[in-house]
Every structure is written in structure tokens, then in C-alpha cells.
Amino acid sequence: MKAKGKSFFSNRGSIAFLVALLAGSAVIRVGISANSALAEVDLAGGFSLPLSANPEKPEPNFGHKPDVKPLLDALLARENKVSEREGELAARSKALDVAQLEIERRLTALEGAEQRLRQTLSIAQTAAEDDLSKLTMVYENMKPKDASALFEAMEPAFAAGFLGRMRPEAAAKIMAGLKPQSAYSISAILAGRNARAPKN
């Protein structure tokens, strides 16, 4: 009976020892899991990235911002150049507009001057024509002898101009009083002028 009791207590000791080992193992595993979980949780700011499987090799820091100052400086420099270029183009466009307005003003002034010149020439031509008509009438109303003496002193081309404007009967009387050489020269000029006149 004593041997039986001793074996029972011995078996109970072995079981208790095994239970203690299992419990210790469980506590150790729970502790490791708890440490891992605490490492993954940032109690102050929320969740963080999981720990690297390889603690010797650090994970890249994705929270680090690259230095963007050179890029910003380049963009600002580019924007300044574009603004400067736009200013130059605007100034050039304004200068072209001013030049265009000046050209249009001068063209308008030239057109006005040309119109006034045409009017002046027209008035001068009309006046000259009136003067020639009056002078021709004066020569026609002169005595043929006096008119012939006057035409004899004229250049043949000048005399032919007046004789060509006169009535044929008045011109004939003046031509009759001219020297033959003068009459021939004036007649040749009048004939040549008529020959050069357009037929149609």
C-alpha cells in the first residue's frame, strides 16, 4: 500500500512538472507575441510600419522628404524668364501698335496732300487752259498782218501750238503772212502732231 501511494505522488509530480513547463512555454510565447505587437503599435501616434524581418538591415525611411529647394529655385527662375519674355513681347507689340498708328496717320496725311495736289494741278491746268484759250482768241482777233509778224518771231513749235487751236480761217490768214520757211516749219510740226495722234 505504501508503494502504491508513493507511485501515485510520483506520477502527480511528473504531471505537475510537465504542466509547469507547458505553462512557462506559453507565458514565454505570449510575452514574445506581446513584445512584437507593442513594437508594431505606436501608442502615442497610432500604427506604424511592421518591424523588419531582418533587424540588421534598416528599412528605407519613406517619411523623409527629398530636398525640393533646387527644383523650386529652377521653377522660379523659369517663371521669371517667361515673365521677362512676356514683358518684352508686350513692349514690342505696343511699339508695333504705335508704329502702325503712325504709319496710318502718315498715309492719311499723304492721301490728303495728294488730293490737295490734284486739286491744285487741276486748278492750274484749268487756269492754263483758260489762259491759252484767251490768248488764242486774242491772236485770232488781231489783224492778220500784225499776227503774222508776231508768229514769225515765235519758235515754230510754240507758234504751231497756237495755230492748231485757232479756227482754220484765222490760222490760214496768219500763215499767209509768214515767210515761206517759217510757214513750212510750222506746217511740218502741225502735220507731225496729227500723225502721232491716236487713230481710234
Strands 41-42 vs 46-47: parallel, antiparallel or unpaired: antiparallel
> Which amino acid, residue 109?
A
Query: Which pLDDT does position 172 carry in this prediction?
Result: 92
User: Does the predicted TM-score (pTM) go above 0.85?
Assistant: no
Residues 6+ apart with CB under 8 A from 173: 144, 147
Cell of 1: 500500500
- Domain coordinates in residue numbering, the chain: 12-47, 69-128, 142-200
Cell of 175: 500763215
Contact 139, 167 (CB under 8 A): no
Residue 146: which of 184, 177, 167 has the closest Cα? 177
Residue 175: which of 194, 160, 195 has the closest Cα? 160
Other C-beta atoms closer than 10 Å to the C-beta of 132 total 13
Question: pLDDT of the chain along its 200 residues, tens only?
Answer: 444 444 544 556 667 777 777 777 766 776 666 555 555 544 444 444 454 445 555 555 555 556 788 888 889 889 999 989 998 999 999 999 999 999 999 999 999 899 889 888 888 888 888 888 898 999 999 999 999 999 999 999 999 999 999 999 999 999 999 999 999 999 999 888 766 656 56
Cell of 10: 510520483
Query: Which pLDDT does position 54 carry in this prediction?
Result: 52
Which DSSP state fits 62? T
Task: Phi first, then psi: give them for residue 47, nearest 5 degrees.
Answer: -80, 145
Query: Which pLDDT does position 148 carry in this prediction?
Result: 92
Rounded-to-integer distance, Cα 112 and Cα 159, Å? 39
**Alpha carbon separation from 43 to 11, 49, 103, 183 (Å, rounded):** 47, 13, 80, 136
